[in-house]
Amino acid sequence: MASVEDKLDALISAEIYRSRDEVISDAMSALLTLKPSLKIDMAVNLYKNKKVSLWRGADIASLTLEKFKDILASRSIRIEHE
C-alpha cells in the first residue's frame, strides 16, 4: 500500500503539482471548504499560541472581529490587547 509520502511524490512526479507545499496548500484549501468549522478551530489555536494577531485570527476564521472575540471568550482564551 502506498504511503502518504509516496502519493505526494506521485503527484509531483506526474507534474500535477510542483512541490509538496503546493499539494499541501491545495489539500488544506479543499479540507477547509469541506469542513468550514475547522477554520475557526485553526484560527483559535493559532491565536492562542501567539502565531497570529487577533485581526488575522478573525480573518482566517472568516469571522468579524467581535464574533471571533466571542468565540475566544467562550473557550476561556484570554484576549491580548495589541
Domain ranges of the chain: 1-34, 36-82
C-alpha distances out from residue 18 to 3, 8, 27, 33, 78, Å = 19, 11, 14, 22, 40
**Tens-level pLDDT at each residue, the chain (82 residues):** 999 999 999 999 999 999 999 999 999 999 999 999 999 999 999 999 999 999 999 999 999 999 999 999 999 999 987 6
Cell of 28: 488544506
Contacts of 32 (CB under 8 A, 6+ apart): 38, 39, 42
Q: Is 35 helix (H, G, I), strand (E, B) or coil?
A: coil
Cell of 19: 512541490
Tell me what pLDDT residue 77 has.
Answer: 97
Tell me what pLDDT residue 82 has.
Answer: 63
Cell of 50: 501567539
Tell me what pLDDT residue 81 has.
Answer: 76
Tell me what pLDDT residue 80 has.
Answer: 84
pTM for the model stands at: 0.80
